[in-house]
Amino acid sequence: DQQVKQNSPSLSVQEGRISILNCDYTNSMFDYFLWYKKYPAEGPTFLISISSIKDKNEDGRFTVFLNKSAKHLSLHIVPSQPGDSAVYFCAASGNNFNKFYFGSGTKLNVKP
């Protein structure tokens, strides 16, 4: 059941540069896509979302892009900061929000 995939297990970026985290999905019925950030020993924390009717959503340093035809979304963090170092999960849901599918996560390391 690999409906949401994050193919890069890790990413290392220099402080101040852009971090781009990618996510692919297979189910065209997904309506909402979310990014979560997770620090060790903590639960995932909601970061930003996008609905399928949009192709971009921006919140401060974080921007999520959705390409429905390619079934691909990405999270851009600019500028990256050392405090952004965490595991980032992409998640997707249909419009009933009863069930969320998560990717396997990408561990981001922002080097000072």
Partner 1 sequence: EPEVTQTPSHQVTQMGQEVILRCVPISNHLYFYWYRQILGQKVEFLVSFYNNEISEKSEIFDDQFSVERPDGSNFTLKIRSTKLEDSAMYFCASKARKGSYEQYFGPGTRLTVT
**Closer residue to partner 1 in complex, CB, 40/112:** 40
Choices 17-25, 43-51, 67-75, 76-84; region in contact with partner 1 by CB under 8 A: 43-51
44 part of the interface to partner 1, by CB under 8 A: yes
The per-residue b/e assignment along 58-68, b for 16 or more CB within 10 angstroms, e otherwise, is: eeeebbbbbee
Largest CA distance in the chain: 41
Smallest separation, CB 2 to partner 1 (Å): 9
C-alpha pair distances (Å), 35 with each of 27, 52, 61, 75, 112: 17, 14, 14, 8, 24
Query: Which of 8, 22, 32, 72 is close enough to bind partner 1 by CB under 8 A?
Result: 32
46 part of the interface to partner 1, by CB under 8 A: yes
Give residues 69-108 in contact with partner 1 (rule: CB under 8 A).
89, 91, 93, 97-105
Strand, helix or coil at 84? Answer: helix
Strand, helix or coil at 34? Answer: strand
Chain positions contacting partner 1, by CB under 8 A: 1, 4, 32, 34, 36, 41-46, 49, 89, 91, 93, 97-105
